[in-house]
């Protein structure tokens, strides 16, 4: 369970600090645990999603399928951008996404500065905003729709 690839595989499912803690002590966890760590955080929320949902709901199951395809396209693009900037998606909340930019890396001997983490979060947010142009003027089976994105950044101890 402590192979060199275990940490990378585990980090695909839980935030890196959690993966590293499990990797260091792989015994069975009994009860809740927590640990604080410094990070930059990005919160992104789609504007116009409720209107799009209402528009496509007129088409019944076909509209639901179309909405699912659109949201999957959105999340696929955004997750790719997040990964390019070394962020980790830690939560999906409907059409919102929460991303952390950690100081710790998959290599326990290396860290990045808070300044680097904040820069990555900011650049990631700007690129995510730029890619929203693909969703700004969409033609759906039920008419025109437009999505935009609101982004917030934070930094500190989580």
pLDDT of 1 strictly over 60: no
Alpha helices in the chain (DSSP H): 6-11, 16-24, 49-57, 61-84, 114-131
How does pLDDT run across 53-66, given as a tens digit for each residue? Answer: 999 999 999 999 99
The full set of domains in the chain, from first to last, is 1-34 (no CATH), 36-157 (3.30.70.1230)
Contact 143, 55 (CB under 8 A): yes
- Cβ-based neighbour number of residue 29 at 10 Å: 10
Task: Provide φ and ψ at 124, rounded to 5°.
Answer: -60, -45
For 76-129, what is each residue's pLDDT tens digit? Answer: 999 999 999 999 998 999 899 999 998 866 566 666 788 999 999 999 999 999
Q: Is the pLDDT of residue 44 over 60?
A: yes
The pTM (predicted TM-score) of the whole model is 0.81
């Amino acid at each position: 369970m402590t192979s060199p690839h275990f940490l990378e595989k585990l980090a695909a499912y839980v935030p890196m600090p959690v993966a590293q803690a499990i990797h260091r002590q792989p015994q069975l966890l009994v009860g809740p645990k927590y640990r604080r760590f410094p990070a930059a955080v990005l919160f992104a929320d789609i504007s116009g999603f409720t209107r799009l949902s209402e528009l496509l709901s007129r088409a019944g199951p076909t509209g639901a399928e179309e909405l699912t395809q659109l949201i999957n396209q959105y999340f696929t693009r955004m997750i790719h951008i997040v990964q390019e900037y070394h962020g980790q998606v830690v939560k999906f909340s409907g059409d919102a996404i929460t991303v952390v930019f950690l100081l710790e890396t998959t290599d326990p001997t290396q860290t990045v500065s808070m300044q680097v983490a904040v820069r990555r979060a900011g650049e990631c947010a700007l690129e995510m905003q730029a890619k929203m142009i693909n969703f700004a003027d969409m033609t759906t089976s039920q008419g025109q729709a437009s999505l935009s994105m609101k982004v917030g950044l934070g930094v500190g101890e989580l």
